[in-house]
Amino acid sequence: MLQARRRTCCTLAALVLALSTAYAWSASRDGNDKKPSVALKATPPVGFSPLKVHGAVEIRGGADDNADFYCPAVEWDWGDDLTSASSEDCDPYQAGKSSIQRRYSADHTYTQAGTFRVVIRLRQKDRIIGTGTVMVQVRPGVHDGFGS
Full pLDDT tens readout for the chain, 148 residues: 555 555 544 444 444 334 333 333 333 344 456 889 999 999 999 999 999 999 999 999 999 999 999 999 999 999 999 999 999 899 999 999 999 999 999 999 999 999 999 999 999 999 999 999 999 999 998 777 655 4
Neighbours of 78 (CB within 10 A): 20
Q: Identify the pLDDT of residue 22.
A: 37
| Rounded alpha-carbon distances, angstroms, from residue 88 to 15, 21, 64, 137 | 50, 41, 18, 31
Q: What is the pLDDT of residue 17?
A: 39
Q: Which of 119, 129, 105 is nearest to 57 (CA)?
A: 105
Phi first, then psi, for residue 81 (nearest 5°) are 70, 15
pLDDT score for 129: 96
**Whole-number pLDDT of residue 1:** 57
Cross-sheet strand order for the sheet of 127-139: 46-48, 127-139, 114-124, 73-77, 83-86
Q: Are 141 and 113 in contact (CB under 8 A)?
A: yes
pLDDT on residue 34: 85
Per-residue DSSP letter, 30: H
Q: Which CATH architecture has domain 34-144?
A: Sandwich (2.60)
